[in-house]
Amino acid sequence: MAPIKNETVMTDTQPYTVMTVCTGNICRSPMGEIILRHFFNERGLGDQVDVESSGVSDEEWSHPIDPRAVRVLRERGYGDEIPRDHFAHRISREEIERTDLFLPMTASHMRSLLRMLPAGKRAEVHMYRSFDPNLPKPKPGREDQIDLVDPWYGGQHEFEVAIDQIEEVAPYIVDWVAQQL
């Protein structure tokens, strides 16, 4: 089921901001940021949409993107789009205030984000894979059924599964955001 349309009003000077969110901001969320930015650019929306990433934890603060994530991104053709200046960070209050769509990778990330959001925040918070029309809508309290796989404790295969899941859903997210503009 597609999320409800956001009522945010766009201005000429303020791009729509999408924030991918994972635990430490070194694997899933930067992969999602890079892939979504690629898809928005392919659709000609890159000048209207900013894609960023962050974590809900500061345990990986200042670390670069995990080398295994970099490897799989390069293998999929995103090598030129990997930012050289990415340093992992926990989502900031300023980022929370300016973000229009939060895309947590898991139910746990979503719960953490919701605790951080100020009362009345109008940003949309939807799990990344909730945009996949081929997945059944999870029952309340069972949102973990659509978690994006955590590759951190695995090997190359887990990173390939994670990037598969990210790429599979990216076009649906781009379609949804395009309707918000």
Helix 67-75 vs helix 28-42: crossing angle, to nearest 10 = 30
Catalytic residue among 27, 28, 100, 147: 28
Please say whether the beta carbons of 69 and 35 come within 8 A: no
The CA distances from residue 13 to 10, 37, 49, 96, in Å, are 8, 19, 11, 18
Catalytic residue among 22, 66, 100, 147: 22
Backbone angles phi, psi at 90, to 5 degrees: -80, 145
State the residue for tokens 């992992």.
88
By DSSP bridging, strand 124-125 and strand 101-104 are parallel
Alpha carbon distance 167, 125 (integer Å): 19
Alpha carbon distance 51, 76 (integer Å): 19
**66 is a catalytic site residue:** no
Return the H-helix or E-strand segment holding 159.
helix 156-180
From the list 23, 17, 21, the residue with the least C-alpha distance to 53 is 21
**27 is a catalytic site residue:** no
**22 is a catalytic site residue:** yes
Catalytic positions, please?
A: 22, 28, 150
